[in-house]
Structure 1
Amino acid sequence: MSLELDRRISDSGTRFRIFPQPRFLQKADGSGPLFPEPEQVVIALEPAAIQPGPADDRMFVVDAIGKLPYNRFFRPPYQGAFQPPIRAGENGHFDHLDPNSREFSAATMYATVRRVLDIWEDYFGHTIQWHFESDFSRLELIPLIEWNNAQSGYGFLEFGFGRTANGTIDHTRPYCENFDVLAHELGHSIIFAEVGFPASPTDDGVDYGGMHESAGDLVAIIASLHFNSVVDLLLESTKGNLLTINGLDRVGELSDSRQIRIAFNGLRMSDVGEEPHDRSLPLTGAIFDTMVEVFQQDLVAKKLITEDLRTRSTNLPGTAHDLTQIQDEFTSAYTGNEAAFKDSLLLARDYVGRLLAVTWGKISPDFLTYHSILRTMLQADRDLTGGVNAGIIRECFAWREIAPLPTSLMMRQHTLANCGFDETEPSPVPDGAARRSGYRVPAPRPDSSAVRTAR
């Protein structure tokens, strides 16, 4: 969601409270919860547009009682018993709910999904129509079923709980309160709606599957950067130094959040196989690297860091002394300029959000390759900035070894002989047509021409 829209709905939207990361995550030093209190968020609907549930025209919560997980024989809509719908407080908002209550968990699921949808509809610039709209008008949200798992499906999201060490249900870890998991699963629905599905049965969809998992992670990563607490913690821990080994280590110490670990990875295509989650990592890394490079480019433009520091911080590996020096310089630059660093990161966040939306809106799901995503992203950057960030995008993807396959037709070389132009034999193509194609046809020898005429 753009900074402008966030400011606009701050007074007109409906307030909820949600945890930016699971409440069970602990600080690296073991001193307590990483996020001890839920953070207020505002969704783009006015209080009058939200019904008890919570529910609206796009989604609704049904807190099912005694429900078994959906399967191929048991599908929405749910028609069994359910808890009473959650109602707003006297002021029309839902920020009054006790974080230790079942009602809070149900409202959190709704608020998270609605907030993430608001963010990405703003980036796309239009309503994202559900891919299941031919059967259901609204997404069914089921927050708390007795199951040590969670799933998304055609027209629904249903969540249980985490697992204990021996695989039983851990009721202290409801998945419906896990922002990353909910945002990731909604990301799949966004891709189904905006990109579509491969149409050919001969398409093995290797890169399509990797793109899908990467998109789920990127939807969650960009959405999580809409929490002030997450952005503040990220910058305070790294001082803006997000690409050196030191930066990676510092981010890794923040929490056990899967999304944070996914974003900061050093994998290339030669490091991964065809399993979709594994294959998604270089693509996610390339796009997150792009965001960080755009962030640091803005810092240079605002004279908050030097071009030399930016260059040294993005060229790995370095010596221990170099890394310490780089971190010291970032710390010095960040100190006293915290707000300016944050503004630059949020601008980079919104740029990448729009870049992804335009890219996803243009790519074809059929025989998709990571290289086609790169080319479409370069086109998207031209649409958004006139191509200002093309160099950054190329470099980030090249480092991840995302390139055309060696067997791609676009990599095939074409000699004059391949194209039917041979200096020893005249081309049968009329001279005017040859000129239009960009090739120069040698003048025919008289004897050769005569032979052809005789035939």
Structure 2
Amino acid sequence: MSVKLDVRLESVGTRFRLFPQPRFLSAFQTPETVYISVPPEEIKPGPADNRMIVIDAINKLPYSRFFRPPYIGAKNPPVQPSSDGHFDHLDIESREFSCATMYATVRRVLDIWEDYFGHQIEWHFEADFSRLELIPLIEWNNAQSGYGFLEFGYGRSITGGIDRTRPYCQNFDVLAHEIGHSIIFSKIGVPENSQEEHLDFWGMHESAGDLVAIVASLHFDTVITYILNKSCGNLFTVNELDRVGELSESREIRIAFNYKRMSDVGAEPHDRSVPLTGGIFDVFVEVFQKELVNNGLITQALADLSNSGPNQSQDLSDIQNRFAAAYKGNEAGFKDALLFARDYLGQLLAITWSNLSPNHLTYHTILRGLLRADRQITNGEHQDTIRTCFAWREISLIPGSLLLRPHTVQECGLTAGPDFVDGLIERLNQKDPKVIEALQQILRDKPAKKKKS
């Protein structure tokens, strides 16, 4: 979402409070006030609007292929707004707050990505349901997204049971990741032949969910401030931005900043998604660093040192100290550069995803889509950056691709010797023998060489 739109929503949108990252993390124990695009007068108790509705189900079992929306069982009363139509008054320890958080997170992520796409994202289940069903708290140590619904339980305890202190509906990254799947189903669809193997399709799906969450999390001022203060702009380090789906202080579902290449991962979609996410994250960070260099905030030499990959000869402490010196006193400039890179990444992904086909999709197809999108956004300013990042990740054509096959002149039937002439004569002879005689005279009779005097 552009900075201008975010500012405008403060005057017309509805207020909620969200935890930018799981509240059990020491740095994010205070919720941040955010605004969603739906005005207070258009939000119904629940919360609900014309695109989604929260249903606080009672004693509900998880949906399955035998049990699907709409939910018609017992439920708690819908959450009510305050007298001014906002929802930022709710006690953060209450069940009502969890309901409002789930709604606001999904709506906020949708607002962000609809701005990047430039239009409303229609639900992939619109043929059957007009609204997304949001079920925030069921007695389950898991969470899932499905056709027309999102339903969340709780995190798992050490013994594998339910940990009610960690409701998934308050985990912004997990919710954003799941709504990311819905966005991709809407924009790209599914392969026509479901029986075929589509490793890259499902790897792309998981990567897209992570990237939707990463970009959305960068719309929290507390997240941006924390990242920059902790890293001093040296984003090629492990930080809160790249820890997707945080489960504890030291454990996360996947890490966006990683050194995984395609030769390091297998066929499982989550595992296979890591190099793709890493490559795109690398592009994002390099664009951020280019902006810092262009604005005179760091030197090109420092940027080159920090993004040279795993290199034992690097003095990581020296690199970090140099970033810290550059960051001090220039915090606003670093923040502007990060927001610039964030919005570039959002646009890049929106354009790329809008033009992908699900059929026979490969990571190489995504690479070409990113290059085309960059040409559309910046007239090709970051072409070499994208190519280099993906080459390092070993993302290229699959072995045996027809695009790698050379085509000889002979295979194309364009032999330049007598065989070509004979073939031409044979073809033309079927039409007009007189023309053939004339062509034969022209093509075969060599002019006599002039004798030297």
Amino acid at match of 1:348: A
The Cα of 1:316 is off from its aligned counterpart by: 2.7
Contact persistence 1:163–1:169 (CA under 8 A): yes
Residue type of the alignment partner of 1:16: F
Aligned ranges for residues 90-105 of structure 1 at < 5 Å? 90-105=83-98
Q: Deviations over 1:233-264 (max 9, x none)?
A: 11111111122xxx2379789944637x5211
User: What SS does structure 1 have at the residue aligned with 2:60?
Assistant: coil
Q: How does 1:299-448 map to 2 (within 5 A)?
A: 299-319=292-312, 322-424=315-417, 425-426=419-420, 428=423
Q: For 1:238-249, what aligned pairs fall within 5 Å after superposition?
A: 238-243=231-236, 247-248=237-238
Q: Which moved more, 1:323-332 or 1:187-196?
A: 323-332
CA 1:381 to 1:44, structure 2 compared with 1: closer, same or farther past 3 Å? same
The AA in structure 2 aligned to 1:170 is: D
1:415 shift after superposition:
2.1
Tell me, yes or no, if the aligned pair for 1:238 and 1:251 is still in contact at 8 Å: no
* Residue 36 (structure 1) shift: 1.3
What letter is aligned with 1:107? A
User: Deviation digits for residues 295-349 of structure 1, max 9, x if unmatched?
Assistant: 0000000010111111111113334663222211111111100111011011100
**SS state at 1:240 partner:** coil
Distance, in Å, in 1 between the alignment partners of 2:35 and 2:157 is 33
Residue 434 of structure 2 is matched in structure 1 by none
Change (3 A) 1:201 1:88: closer
Output the amino acid matched with 2:21.
Q
Preserved contact between residue 152 and residue 158 of structure 1 (Cα < 8 Å): yes
1:117 to 86, 95, 110: 110
Q: Deviations over 1:271-316 (max 9, x none)?
A: 1111100000011011111110000000000010111111111113
1:258 matched to 2:252: yes
CA contact (8 A) 2:22 2:172 kept: yes
User: How many Å separate the matches in 2 of 1:256 and 1:101?
Assistant: 27
TM superposition shift of 1:166: 1.4
Q: 1:419 Cα shift?
A: 2.1
Verify the 8 A CA contact 1:148 1:161 in the aligned structure 2: yes
Residue in 2 aligned with 1:150? 143
Give the superposition deviation at 1:201: 4.0
Work out which of the two has the higher radius of gyration on C-alpha atoms and give 1 or 2.
2
Rounded Cα–Cα distance in structure 2 between residues aligned with 1:198 and 1:394:
27
| Aligned AA (1:134) | A
CA distance in 1, matches of 2:81, 2:156: 32
88, 98, 103: which one aligns with 2:81: 88
Q: For 2:15, give the aligned amino acid.
A: R
- What amino acid is aligned across from residue 381 of structure 1 in structure 2? D
| Correspondence list, 1:5-84, <5 A | 5-25=5-25, 33-84=26-77
Question: Counterpart of 1:433?
Answer: none
Asked if residue 211 in structure 1 is aligned to residue 187 in structure 2, the reply is no
Query: What TM-score does the superposition give when structure 1 sets the normalisation length?
Result: 0.89
| SS across alignment from 1:231 | helix
* Aligned position for 1:435: none
**Deviations 1:89-123 (Å, cap 9, x if unpaired)?**
11211001000000001100000000000000000
Looking at structure 2, the residues matched to 249 and 359 of structure 1 have their Cα atoms a distance apart, in angstroms, of 26
AA of the residue aligned to 1:17: R
Contact 1:141/1:157 (<8 A) preserved: yes
User: Taking structure 1 as reference, are residues 146 and 429 closer, same or farther at Cα in structure 2, changes over 3 Å only?
Assistant: farther
Out of 281, 287, 311, the residue aligned to residue 274 of structure 2 is 281
The structural deviation recorded for 1:12 is 1.0
Partner of 1:30: none
Q: Report if the CA contact (8 A) 1:238-1:250 is conserved.
A: no
Residues in 2 aligned to 1:225 and 1:89: alpha-carbon distance in whole angstroms: 28
Residue type at the aligned position of 1:21: Q
Contact conserved, 2:176 with 2:209, CA < 8 A, in 1? yes
* SS of residue matched to 1:65: coil
Contact 1:62–1:140 (Cα < 8 Å) also in 2? yes
Shift of 1:22: 1.1
Partner of 1:438: none
3-state SS in 1 of match to 2:151: strand
Preserved CA contact (<8 Å) 2:242 2:255: no
- 1:7, distance to aligned residue in structure 2 (A): 1.0
CA deviations over 1:58-114 (Å, ceiling 9, x no partner): 000010011111111111101111111011111211001000000001100000000
**2:420 aligned partner, one-letter code:** P
Contact kept? 1:263, 1:285, Cα under 8 Å: yes
Per-residue CA deviation, residues 389-437 of structure 1 (Å, 9 max, x unaligned), is 111111111111111112111111122222223344216469xxxxxxx
Deviation at 1:230, TM superposition (A): 1.1
Identity, % of aligned positions = 60
Aligned to 2:128: 135
The answer to whether the 8 A contact 1:237-1:250 is kept is no
Segment of structure 1 superposing worse, 137-146 or 304-313: 304-313
- Identify the residue that residue 449 of structure 2 maps to in structure 1: none
Shift of 1:34: 2.3
Contact 2:214 2:241 survives alignment (8 Å) = no
Partner of 1:401, secondary structure, is coil
- Say if 1:41 and 1:256 are closer, same or farther in 2 by CA, change over 3 A: farther
Please identify, of 401-410 and 319-328, the stretch whose mean Cα deviation from structure 2 is larger: 319-328
CA distance in 2, matches of 1:180, 1:317: 27
SS in 2 for 1:293: helix
**For residue 429 of structure 2, what is the aligned residue in structure 1?**
none
For these two proteins, the number of residue pairs brought into alignment is: 426
Are the equivalent residues in 1 in contact too, given 2:231–2:239 (CA < 8 A)? no
Aligned to 2:4: 4
